Structure formats: C-alpha cells, structure tokens
Amino acid sequence: MATAGDIMETGTGSAGVNPAANRPRFTWRYDHKLDAQGRVPLPAKWRPEDPSSLSLMAVMIKHPSEAEFVMVLPVEQFERFSNPICQGDFTDPLRLAERHDYVDRIIELELDSAGRISLPKEMRSAAALTDDVLFVGCIDRFEVWNPESYQMARLSERLLKKVQNPQKT
C-alpha cells in the first residue's frame, strides 16, 4: 500500500466528470504545492473541460485524530451535507449556535481558468497547509490535507478499526 509520500499525480481513471451521471467523480490521491497566494491546482484528472461548470463548497472538518482538513464538495453533495443543518426552528438558540458553527467553517470555491482553487488563509492555517498539499479523492467529494496530518489520521483510523473489529485484523 502506498503512503502519502509515495503518491504522485499518476492516478488512473477518467477526468473529473462521470459521463454516465454527469457528476464529478474524485478518486486516488495527488500531491500538489500551494502557491504564495494560497492557490493550488486541482488534479488534472478531476478538472472539468469547462472550469465554470464545477461549483464547489469547502468545509473545515476536524478528524477524530484532532487534525483539521478541508472537505470539498460539489454543490449537489453540499446540499445533502447541509440539509440537516437547515432543518428545525431557525430561532432556537441551540440550532442558531450550531448553524453559526458550521457557517464559520464553510466557503464557496471557484475553479479559475488555470484549474486552481484558492483556499482562504484561515483554512490553510487551521489545516496546517503551508507548502505541500495532499488531495484525497472520496468518490463524490475530495479532501485537502497536510500530508503528515493525513498519515497520522490514517494511522488513527487503522487503530480504531483494529479496536472495533479485532477479528478482521
């Protein structure tokens, strides 16, 4: 099994759009570098022919390992993700606090003509994204990680699986 350090932009599969369903499809892992303005190119295999055709929402997520990463969802997936947040009484103090917690961690991203996304400084800082960035495909969305944080998160996931299912190890 490859580790984050072993992975180059050599993933397989078709471009980022699934022709059968006309939905983005994100697979494999790719290393990239942030530029001085916080821009990073979307992996070539994920880029649509028309950059304006892909609307993305970025959400800061805290992994159970305590590492933070950026989950990026196409707008259709974001609607599914955010639907529970939008349910219920908008004036209930607890629901209002929950909504503010989410809204403070969400931003819309645009793909520029060079196929790059620009991550806000606050997101880059929280996720420890400085130079090297790891894109992790999750089929219907993708994640942006600090490579070292991703390795530690995967280790904690493997340990969790071992504890939860000791007979499968």
Tell me, yes or no, whether 22 lies in a domain: yes
Tell me, yes or no, whether 1 lies in a domain: no
What value does the mean pLDDT of the chain take? 85
> Which of 139, 124, 144 has the alpha carbon at shortest distance from 41?
144
- Whether 1 shows a pLDDT value over 60: the answer reads no
The total number of residues shown for the chain amounts to 169
- Average pLDDT over every residue of 110-130: 95
- Whether 28 shows a pLDDT value over 60: the answer reads yes
Structural domains counted in the chain? 1
- Whether 120 shows a pLDDT value over 70: the answer reads yes
**Burial class of 89 by CB neighbour count within 10 A (0 to 12, 13 to 18, 19+):** exposed
Q: Domain range for residue 157?
A: 15-168
Tell me, yes or no, whether 8 lies in a domain: no
CATH code where residue 68 lies: 3.40.1550.20
Tell me, yes or no, whether 140 lies in a domain: yes
- Whether 167 shows a pLDDT value over 60: the answer reads yes
Q: Which residue has the higher pLDDT, 82 or 10?
A: 82
Tell me, yes or no, whether 119 lies in a domain: yes
Tell me, yes or no, whether 7 lies in a domain: no
Rounded to a whole number, what is the distance in angstroms from the first to the last CA of the chain? Answer: 16
Percent of the chain with pLDDT over 70: 85
d(CA 143, CA 111) in angstroms, rounded, equals 15
Tell me, yes or no, whether 20 lies in a domain: yes
